[in-house]
């Protein structure tokens, strides 16, 4: 967010470009995580790391099952789980098409929220 603010207030970049690039970067990162989860998920379950963190993995899976598609939106706006949740969703066997559609929407909303924060920070100065 700091870099976005600097680029915007120094008039190096427009807010629309910053938001667009933030959306593309977030979507790309989420999809890499999702597909890593899809392809490495079956092997991941049998690793020492997964065995040690079985309880946390079970809680993440419960959240995915309980909240379903809404988990994608929750994950995009919660920094602590933002980078791990796409892989966990991929491991869970979530539909690739549904994930892609919902993730693009979540990243779009997130980028708009980022742009609004940057814009209103400028109003306060």
Tell me the pLDDT tens digit for each residue of 29-63.
999 999 999 998 878 878 888 888 888 778 778 88
The tally of domains found in the chain comes to 1
pLDDT of residue 124: 57
pLDDT at 123: 59
- The answer, as to whether pTM is greater than 0.95, is no
Q: Closest Cα partner for 17 from 120, 114, 85?
A: 114
Structural domain boundaries enclosing 35: 2-124
Greatest Cα pair distance in the chain: 53
Would you state the structure tokens that stand for residue 95, as one six-digit string? 């539909």
Residue 85 backbone class (left: φ over 0; alpha: ψ -120 to 50; beta: rest): alpha
Low-confidence ranges of the chain (pLDDT < 50): 1-2
Query: Quick one: pLDDT at residue 31?
Result: 96
């Amino acid at each position: 967010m700091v870099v976005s603010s600097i680029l915007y207030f120094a008039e190096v970049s427009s807010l629309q470009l910053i938001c667009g690039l933030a959306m593309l970067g977030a979507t790309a990162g989420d999809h890499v995580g999702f597909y890593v989860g899809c392809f490495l998920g079956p092997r991941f379950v049998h690793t020492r790391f997964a065995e040690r963190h079985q309880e946390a993995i079970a809680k993440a899976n419960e959240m995915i099952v309980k909240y379903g598609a809404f988990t994608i939106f929750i994950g995009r706006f919660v920094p602590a789980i933002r980078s791990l949740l796409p892989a966990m969703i991929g491991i869970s066997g979530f539909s690739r098409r549904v994930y892609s559609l919902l993730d693009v929407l979540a990243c779009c909303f997130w980028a708009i929220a980022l742009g609004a924060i940057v814009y209103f920070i400028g109003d306060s100065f």
